[in-house]
Amino acid sequence: MQDQTITIQLPDGKILARQDGDLIRARGVPYAVAERFQPPTPTPKWSSIKDCTRPAVLCPQLPARLEAVLGPITRGREHDENCLHVTVTAPQNAENAPVLVWLHGGAFVSGGGDLDCYQPLDLAKHGIVCVNVSYRLGVFGWFKLDGISPPNLGLLDQRAALQWVQKSISSFGGNPGNVTAVGQSAGADSIICLLVSEGGQSLFHRAILMSPPLRELRERVPTDDAVSAQAQLLLTEDPRKMSVAALLDLQRKLLMTPARPQIMLFAPALNHYPLPKESDLNQLVTERVKNIPILIGWTAHDGRPFSRLMGPQRQWYDTPIIGDYLEALGTWYVTKSYFQWPSQTFHDQVLLAGGMSTTYTFSWHPPSSPLGANHCIDLATIFGEWKDWREAAMVAGDETETKEAVQRMGQTVRNLWLGFVQGRKLKADHIVMDSSFMSPEQYFEPAS
């Protein structure tokens, strides 16, 4: 079938979307509006038809620190502060279908929901209505400056997007009562924050958490005040009036001389609305996970891209003979302490509260890749198409063999996700996703 455009009526107005074969795709659909450093508000209704057939803008951002691993995934994309939008990918003629909401990673300073590499085409082809969320990043969304910028604006954006799903997703055939929130890295961190936040816990019904950096959630508590104090020393004019380029330069300076090394400087902050006090966090998790099935995991070498930033003895990594050993030790340390152990603790907390949780380890990687099963490698098996990942160092190797392996692994992982999103109950305590992971069906309770 030749691609064509169609008109969809949303509660706020009509949009022009694209029909690609059996899929409906609407890109850059506004879910809220916000002035700089202000909370999001609902999108005003519109009378003319909005064109949602073209790639959407990204929040202004600096080059991603993991571009050497991921490849140039943001290359050629337009940046704009007016970035509160979703991209919806839905099966044609969907009716009361399960909904998957994707929150991208990028350390809260890079990325975007509408990136080609994050398009959930295969998931949508299997009957899932998918929503990719873009939200404010870096200094635009996670910067506290007294009297000017409140903290957690990016989290309020994400909550507004989930509220839009409740209001509007039925227009695409999605069921607002059957929403799975999925996030990777910063996106997974966000979902846990939404779970314990004011007004966020009732907006989704299950969650897939990919490599959440949970150790940092508590370590970041004093960070926002430290960053604010340092920014005050650097500012020479009102940031509400500064150019986008000047604000990004401010962000770059803050990242280059961090107030607290090794901590994400721009990220959700406990003790500030809509998040709870740090002392209340564990109790809220216990209360709110009871009816939210969780699939949470890490990659076998999550810490590989960060070991030179955080690993012990990292100053000796370039030393002949022992350098490789020390870097492997650093990868092990960062993987365990920032990703695996905190995720395991969260999993145990869910089970203790009477909830349902399964952990996983993603161990597959191209045999020739020096990065191993590094942070983000699982993304290439789930989202996008090969052309969107072929320049990524994490899938380097013989292109034909690697492409086939990525696609084969992706089919298996997506089958696991599909069962989970469709509401099937996992019976496994832990799943290992490696080259032998071929039958996800074995991990589910028998279908009723």
Percent of the chain with pLDDT over 70: 98
Question: In this predicted model, what pLDDT tens digit does every residue of 83-104 receive, in sequence order?
Answer: 999 999 999 999 999 999 999 9
Q: In angstroms, rounded to a whole number, what is the distance separating the alpha carbons of residues 171 and 95?
A: 9
Contact call for residues 394 and 365 (beta carbons, < 8 A):
yes
pLDDT of amino acid 94: 95
Is residue 159 helix, strand or coil?
helix
Give CA 28 to chain center in angstroms.
17
Rounded CA-CA distance 99/103 in Å is 13
Q: What is the mean predicted confidence (pLDDT) over 360-381?
A: 94
- The rounded percent of the chain whose pLDDT value lies above 90 is 84
Selected residue with higher pLDDT from 309 and 375? 375
Rounded to whole angstroms, the Cα distance separating 437 from 434 reads: 5
Strand partners, 174: 97
**183-201: b (≥16 Cβ within 10 Å) or e:** bbbbbbbbbbbbbbbeebb
pLDDT of residue 370: 84
Average pLDDT over every residue of 425-438: 94
**Is the pLDDT reported for residue 222 higher than 90?**
no
Q: What pLDDT, on a 0 to 100 scale, did the predictor assign at position 247?
A: 97
Please give the helix or strand (H or E) that residue 265 lies within, else none: none
Beta-strand pair 174-184/206-210: parallel
Residue 436's contacts (CB-CB under 8 Å, 6 or more residues apart) are none
Average pLDDT rounded to a whole number, residues 362-377 = 92
Question: What is the Cα–Cα distance from 10 to 96, expressed in whole angstroms?
Answer: 16
Predicted pLDDT of residue 226: 86
- Tokens in use for 329? 């030790």
> Per-residue confidence at 224, pLDDT binned at 50, 70, 90?
confident
Q: Would you say 14 and 49 are in contact if contact means Cβ atoms under 8 Å apart?
A: yes
pLDDT tens, residue by residue, 137-182: 999 999 999 999 999 999 999 999 999 999 999 999 999 999 999 9
What is the tens place of the pLDDT at every residue in 135-146? Answer: 999 999 999 999
Q: Look up residue 314 and give its two tokens.
A: 């990292």
pLDDT at 1: 45
**CB contact set of 45 (below 8 Å; sequence gap of 6+):** 12, 13
Residue range 269-315, pLDDT digits in tens? 999 999 999 999 999 999 999 999 999 999 999 999 998 877 778 88
Cα separation, 48 vs 57, whole angstroms: 20
Do the Cβ atoms of 345 and 278 come closer than 8 Å?
Answer: no
Helix, coil or strand: residue 28? strand
The 10s digit of each residue's pLDDT in 22-45 is: 999 999 999 999 999 999 999 999
Give the pair of three-digit tokens for residue 306. 């960060």
User: Is residue 259 very low, low, confident or very high in pLDDT (cuts 50, 70, 90)?
Assistant: low
Q: What is the pLDDT of residues 227-246, one digit of tens each?
A: 899 999 999 999 999 999 99
Residue 261 has pLDDT above 90, yes or no: no
Least confident span in 202-211, 262-271, 298-307, 335-344: 262-271
pLDDT score at 95: 96
Q: What is the mean pLDDT of residues 421-442?
A: 93
pTM for the whole structure: 0.96
Residue 435 in this model has a pLDDT that exceeds 70: yes
